[in-house]
Structures are given as C-alpha cells and as structure tokens.
C-alpha cells in the first residue's frame, strides 16, 4: 500500500507515524509545502517573546530524522496543487526547482491545516502587519522587532493566539493594545470568566478595545489603525490573529468546495484531517469547519488506513481523538448555530 499525506505538521505527521507502527511495509510519503515538518507550532508565540530562546527547539523532526526513525519519506517545499481521483495521482510543485510532477497513491490523506485570515481591509498588506502560523512567520516578527526597535504593538484578535502574542510581546517590554471585535476575548468561555481576563489584561497595562473592529490601516509613514468606533491607534507593529481558513486550494480543483466534507462520508481512498475539513452542524444543517486536535485525528486516520476503511456512514459520532476544540462556518464566523441552538 502506498499512502500519500498532504501536510506534514500535527495531523499529517502523527498519521504517518501511527500508520508506520501498524504497517511496517506501507510506502508513506509526506508532502509539506513549507520548509519544516512536525514543528512545535504552539511554541511559536513563546519563541517570538524570547521565552523559548533556541529556535531549534521548535523543530521536532527533520525529513532525515523521520526517514531514519520511521522509514517515512518527507518532501518539504513540495506543494500538492491538484488531485486526480480517477487516476489516483497528485500533481506536486517542487518549490525549489519550480518543476511539477505527478505521484501515484493507493490512499490519500489530506492534512494541510489552515492559513490565517487576512480580510480585504485597506492597507492590510503593509510590511509592518504580520500573521502567526509557522516558523518563518516567527522569524519575520523577531527580525522586525530587533531591527526596528519596536515600542508599540497592536494585536488584532483576542483568541488563544492573540492572547499568547499579547503575553509574549509584553514580555519583551513592548506596549500592547488588543483589538477584539466581539464583546469579550476568548469567545469559548463564559462572560464571567472573560471579565476576569479583561481585568487582568488591564492590570498588566494592556489597552483593550472590545467590541470594536479594524476599518482600515493608514500606512503612509506612521502605521495608524482606524477603528469602526472612530478611534485611532498609532503603532509600530500589528499582529493579525483573527481566525483561519482551510489551506485547501487544491481541493477546489476536484469540486470539493475548498474544504473536505467529513463524517457524512469520506471519498473512497482518501481521508481528511484537521483544519481543512468541514462537517454539517446537526441542528441547523449548516456547514462548519471541523477544527480539532490534529494529533488525535492522526491517530484515528492511521488506524483507519491500516484497516482499509474508506467511508463512514452519515450520523456516526466523531471518532475518539477527533473531538473539536472549536468550529466555524466556512466564512470564518462562529459555527452554524442560531439563537437558542447555541445552548
């Protein structure tokens, strides 16, 4: 059996490792469009804040190491750009040589993860505005702070990543402002808990702009953020942490709709893991992203690949280890619940 895995970080790498433990003879190839596989993405904010000082501690496995340990081939800077399900092939772009080639498969696992949202806001492509997804993003943030003597920073988005960036840039002595469009930070928690977090942030001298959003960025010389409330914030640096969208452009080539449907069915021969997947919310019937624990899903899909499973009947409960930590509609808004359905 030849298995191709698209994406080599949490979901993809754990799927590959689990499958190898179950099948010593399978040919396993990971395609990762970035420069690194299986890096510690949860540590990236702490590397930005110099809490983690050694960059190498973020890099858990290299392609050479995963080959030596598990006999798994990992090709980095290799982007899957097309899937041909009839021929059971993928088209791969080697980003180093700019050459395209085809690779066949018996089973295909899609685990490309998600990319940060960058809405179409005037000025958003300024070089002083950053997102946080991978090690090169962290390198860019650290280099900019060091070279430009950053004194003020604005974090847009008060979710987990946004708050971690607040904590870590504050650790560097930078004056922080936090902009959150909702009525509280950390949307999954109750308002009483969020209120305690708001108080703690203010105690730490963080400027909070709650229930306010970014209307535009002025980027002539100074970087100025215009909020919908009419307020303006001058800053040296902006971190966007407002959510994610599925990293699955290649899926659109096969009419998968930009994401891969799970739980109602899995196409014969291929599986989907982590942030590229969607499912239907059972109450409203609306599609939502099935964001969850990539490592847990990797364990599940490794087992299913070994057993030769190629579908699930509609209505099944999510497999153990694939529980969601949060969900949203395909446009990035909160999951397909309306009114009392949220209860």
- Return the residue matching tokens 């989907």: 272
- Return the residue matching tokens 């772009």: 93
Separation between Cα atoms, residue 70 and residue 87, nearest integer Å = 28
3-state secondary structure of 340: helix
Nearest CA among 320, 295, 247, 272 for reference residue 110: 272
Contacts of 7 (CB under 8 A, 6+ apart): 30, 31, 32, 110, 111, 112, 113, 247, 273, 274, 276
Q: At what angle do helices 10-22 and 63-70 cross, to 10 degrees?
A: 20
Nearest CA among 6, 14, 5, 2 for reference residue 322: 14
Separation between Cα atoms, residue 81 and residue 180, nearest integer Å = 35
Question: Is 314 buried (19+), middle (13-18) or exposed (0-12) by CB count in 10 A?
Answer: exposed
Other CB atoms within 10 Å distance of the CB of residue 289: 26
Is 48 considered catalytic here? no
Q: Are strands 99-104 and 107-110 parallel, antiparallel or unpaired?
A: unpaired
- Provide the token pair at 241: 């942490």
Element (H, E) at 59: strand 59-61
Nearest CA among 74, 83, 80 for reference residue 37: 74
Identified catalytic residue from 42, 68, 81, 195: 42
Say what the alpha-carbon torsion angle 151, 156, 159, 165 is, to the nearest 10 degrees.
-20
Separation between Cα atoms, residue 1 and residue 106, nearest integer Å = 6
Catalytic residues: 42
């Amino acid at each position: 059996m030849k298995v191709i895995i698209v994406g080599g970080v949490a979901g993809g790498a754990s799927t590959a490792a689990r499958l190898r433990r179950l099948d010593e003879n399978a040919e396993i190839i990971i395609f990762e469009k970035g420069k690194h596989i299986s890096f510690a993405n949860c540590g990236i904010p702490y590397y930005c804040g110099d809490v983690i000082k050694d960059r190498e501690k973020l890099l858990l496995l290299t392609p050479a190491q995963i080959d030596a340990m598990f006999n798994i081939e990992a090709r980095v800077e290799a982007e899957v750009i097309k899937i041909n399900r009839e021929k059971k092939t993928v088209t791969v772009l080697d980003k180093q040589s700019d050459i395209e080639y085809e690779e066949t498969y018996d089973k295909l696992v899609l685990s490309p993860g998600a990319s940060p949202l960058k809405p179409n806001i005037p000025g958003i492509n300024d070089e002083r505005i950053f997102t946080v997804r991978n090690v090169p993003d962290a390198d860019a943030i650290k280099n900019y702070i060091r070279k430009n003597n950053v004194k003020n920073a604005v974090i847009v988005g008060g979710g987990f990543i946004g708050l971690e960036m607040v904590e870590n840039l504050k650790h560097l002595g930078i004056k922080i402002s936090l902009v959150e469009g909702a009525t509280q930070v950390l949307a999954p928690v109750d308002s009483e808990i969020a209120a305690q977090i708001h108080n703690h942030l203010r105690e730490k001298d963080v400027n909070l702009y709650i229930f306010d959003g970014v209307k535009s960025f002025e980027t002539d010389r100074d970087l100025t953020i215009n909020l919908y409330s009419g307020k303006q914030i001058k800053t040296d640096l902006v971190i966007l942490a407002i959510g994610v969208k599925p990293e699955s452009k290649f899926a659109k080539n096969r009419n998968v709709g930009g994401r891969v449907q799970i739980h109602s069915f899995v196409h014969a021969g291929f599986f989907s893991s982590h942030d590229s997947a969607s499912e239907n919310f059972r109450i409203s019937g609306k599609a939502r992203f099935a964001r969850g624990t990539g490592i847990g899903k990797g364990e599940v899909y490794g087992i299913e690949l070994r057993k030769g499973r190629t579908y699930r009947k509609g209505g099944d409960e999510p497999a153990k280890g694939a529980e969601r930590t949060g969900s949203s509609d395909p446009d990035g808004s909160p999951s397909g619940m309306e009114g009392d359905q949220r209860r």
